Amino acid sequence: MAKPQPVYIAGHQFPRKTDALAFLKVMLNRYKPGQAVSDVDGAFLFEALKRHPEAATKIGSGLKGFEVRSADYGTQCFWILRADGSEERFSYRSCI
């Protein structure tokens, strides 16, 4: 059996990847589609986003903030609001 790998994001230590994923899922579900993510949650999301395999592309010109929007099949996801006015969704799962 594989040894659990701890995950560190923005000063938070998660014993396993599944714990970090659960934390982000709870965060996502705190918001309704169309709501802006709070500054505190946004700071955490930014640190998580830096772990994304396409982080440089996703961050682009810089971040203005995050928002939650509807996604496929009745789900919702995080969207990046960039400083240049462009927007893009991202999977928090890819950040872990």
pTM, two decimal places: 0.90
Report yes or no on 23 lying in a domain.
yes
Q: What is the Cα 3 distance to its own chain's centre?
A: 25
**Look-up of token digits 């169309």:** 34
d(CA 31, CA 83): 22
Report yes or no on 45 lying in a domain.
yes
Give me the CATH number covering residue 57.
Answer: 3.10.450.40
Number of domains making up the chain: 1
Report yes or no on 67 lying in a domain.
yes
Report yes or no on 68 lying in a domain.
yes
Per-residue model confidence as pLDDT tens digits over 13-54: 999 999 999 999 999 999 999 999 999 999 999 999 999 999
Nearest partner of 63 among 78, 44, 42, judged by Cα:
42
Per-residue model confidence as pLDDT tens digits over 45-85: 999 999 999 999 999 989 999 999 988 777 899 999 999 99
Report yes or no on 80 lying in a domain.
yes
Structure tokens at 9: 């994001």
Alpha helices in 16-89 (DSSP H): 17-29, 39-49, 55-59
Give the range of the structural domain holding residue 60, as residue numbers without chain letter.
7-95
Cα angle value 5/80/44 (rounded, 5°): 40
